[in-house]
Amino acid sequence: MHEQDNADPDSAAETSSSLDHGSRPWILGEGPGPPCGHGREERTREDNLMDLQQLIEAVIAGNAPETKALTEAALSDGVAPQTIVDDGLIAAMGVVGEHFSRGEIYVPEMLLSARAMQSALAIIEPLLAKADIVSRGTVVIGTVKGDVHDIGKNIVSIMLKGSAFTVHDLGVDVPAERFVEAIREHKPDVLGLSSLLTTTMPAMRTVIEALETAGVRDQVKVMVGGAPVTEAFALSIGADGYGRDAVEAAEQARQLILAAG
């Protein structure tokens, strides 16, 4: 029996909606362990220097135990935590995203890579916090009021974390007021709204209007997504961005934050 993986420090979704789903991402284990013969006892300096490339490969392969081991090895070799994040983990997820966009891999492989990355981030984040290094940006995400679909939102959330964003997931059936509260509380760079029903898409407009009424609209970039959501709809409601899929959403978020300076 495998132990549950608690590597993701942000695994608990905020249950700020009227529903308490009580469920959480449940993972039997972390996948296969390191390949045979990959002993740690006789590692040379050369071995350690190669770790970043091997780390990238381990993330792409979705091998969480190997990713953790290589992260620890790189740290003990004196590689700076931010370097491991930027040149190792984020670089790897970039490759994963490209493969997904080209249809060479699918959602399962992407999730396994993101899980591997997050297992490494769990080791690195305390070190980053000590060094006072900030994340790439902060995102608040949620499914709008009246809608309980969350798979797409969850995948986007995982990909954003995999791209070293700080993500606050408000869950599903989130009223507009809660989004406003979350903006005041977390001061995110990006607000992500998800809807999977044509009957709940209008709630996205309601949220944007609530942001305007609350005087916080100009503090955040708003992105929308979900199966029935189109770019035209996003423009019509005054959203700043639209993500066709999880990889595009993560990239859009990055672009919006860069553009905002």
The answer to the question of residue 1 lying near other proteins (CB under 8 A) is yes
Nearer to other proteins, 110 or 139 (CB): 110
Using CB under 8 A, pick the residue from 23, 78, 215, 218 that binds other proteins.
23
Using CB under 8 A, pick the residue from 200, 211, 223, 225 that binds other proteins.
200
Three-state DSSP state, 242: strand
The answer to the question of residue 107 lying near other proteins (CB under 8 A) is yes
Using CB under 8 A, pick the residue from 68, 136, 145, 217 that binds other proteins.
145
**Candidates 85-93, 106-114, 131-139, 213-221; binding stretch for other proteins (CB under 8 A):** 106-114
Number of residues that bind other proteins (CB under 8 A): 38
Using CB under 8 A, pick the residue from 25, 34, 94, 238 that binds other proteins.
25
DSSP states along the chain: -PPPP---TT-SPP--SS---------S---S-SPTT--STT--HHHHHTHHHHHHHHHHTT-HHHHHHHHHHHHHTT--HHHIIIIIIIHHHHHHHHHHHTTSS-HHHHHHHHHHHHHHHHHHHHHHHHTT---S-EEEEEEBTT----HHHHHHHHHHHHTT-EEEE--SSB-HHHHHHHHHHH--SEEEEE--STTTTHHHHHHHHHHHHHT-GGGSEEEEE-TT--HHHHHHTT-SEEESSHHHHHHHHHHHHHHH-
Using CB under 8 A, pick the residue from 50, 80, 90, 197 that binds other proteins.
197
In angstroms, the Cα distances linking 218 to 2, 120, 199 are 47, 35, 27
Q: Name which of residues 82 to 101 contact other proteins (CB under 8 A).
A: none
Q: Name which of residues 235 to 254 contact other proteins (CB under 8 A).
A: 244
The answer to the question of residue 215 lying near other proteins (CB under 8 A) is no
Using CB under 8 A, pick the residue from 7, 13, 16, 31 that binds other proteins.
31
The answer to the question of residue 19 lying near other proteins (CB under 8 A) is yes
Using CB under 8 A, pick the residue from 6, 9, 12, 21 that binds other proteins.
21
Interface map 38-67 toward other proteins (x if CB under 8 A) = ------------------------x-----
